[in-house]
Structure 1
Amino acid sequence: MKLLVVGLGGVVGAVLRYIISKIFKEVMEREHPISTLFINVAGCFFIGFLSSKHLPQGYKLFLTTGLLGGFTTYSTFMLETSMYVKKSKHKKAFVYVFLSIVFGIMAAGAGIWLANAN
């Protein structure tokens, strides 16, 4: 049953990621890693928030391991960074990695803070 819950969450997360990426592509009219940055930072916020909530195990598995696992895009982040390096765009690669890490940590912390705010 746990595998089914995680799998269903992963499907929902992957579909959400695809939709958000398409929206960014249409708005920016080209491929751009800003959608991956947005998705990963949002995922960091929500996993921080959810990790501080007392949820039944099934809900937590669906939301964190499933939905957010399918939603966030570490492999895409690595591919996009590698493409910048391959094209000798080292400054862009550094800025992208730096922003992803810093904003990701800040978003996870903000999620934890918000979840614990009374």
Structure 2
Amino acid sequence: MAPVLWVFLGGGLGTAARYGVQLLLGEPGQSFDTAIFAVNVAGAFGLGAIQPWLKRMSAAQSGFIGPGFFGGFTTYSALMVSPVVTARAGDVSGSITYFLVSLAAGLVAAWLGIALTKSRHRG
């Protein structure tokens, strides 16, 4: 199967996984969208954790996991839309807080994923 088809398949699975988390944690549109926050932080951690292996994988494998699964699982568009919707509803401070906390948590999660994998590779 061509690598782009593996990306497509991984993206479908990642999107289905995100939808499952959204069903478990609540509907979008809340002032703090817990589901989108959770998938973005978990996705940042997961993608960070697999970094050492991505370069050693085939194009099909890395495409399935990286831009495929994690690309479908996480959602940049919802990260951008949620603060706008919240601000338009009158909660500007909540909007800014959600955006900044999401960015900071994503950065920390990616860093932790990379650090955890590197520490396990050394041992």
Given the two structures, how large is their TM-score scaled by the length of structure 1?
Answer: 0.90
Q: Residue 5 of structure 1 aligns with which residue?
A: 6
Shift of 1:52: 2.2
One-letter amino acid matched to 2:25: F
Structure 1 unaligned blocks of 5 or more: none
Shift of 1:60: 1.6
Alignment coverage as a number of residue pairs: 115
One-letter amino acid matched to 1:63: I
Give the share of equivalent positions with the same residue, in percent.
29
Q: Residue 14 of structure 1 aligns with which residue?
A: 15
Shift of 1:76: 1.0
Is the Cα–Cα contact under 8 Å of residues 4 and 63 in structure 2 kept in the other structure? Answer: no
Is the Cα–Cα contact under 8 Å of residues 50 and 60 in structure 1 kept in the other structure? Answer: no
CA distance in structure 1 between the aligned counterparts of 2:35 and 2:94, rounded to whole angstroms: 15
Q: Residue 88 of structure 2 aligns with which residue?
A: 86
Structure 2 unaligned blocks of 5 or more: none
RMSD across aligned C-alpha pairs, in angstroms? 1.6
4+ aligned runs moved over 3 Å, structure 1: none
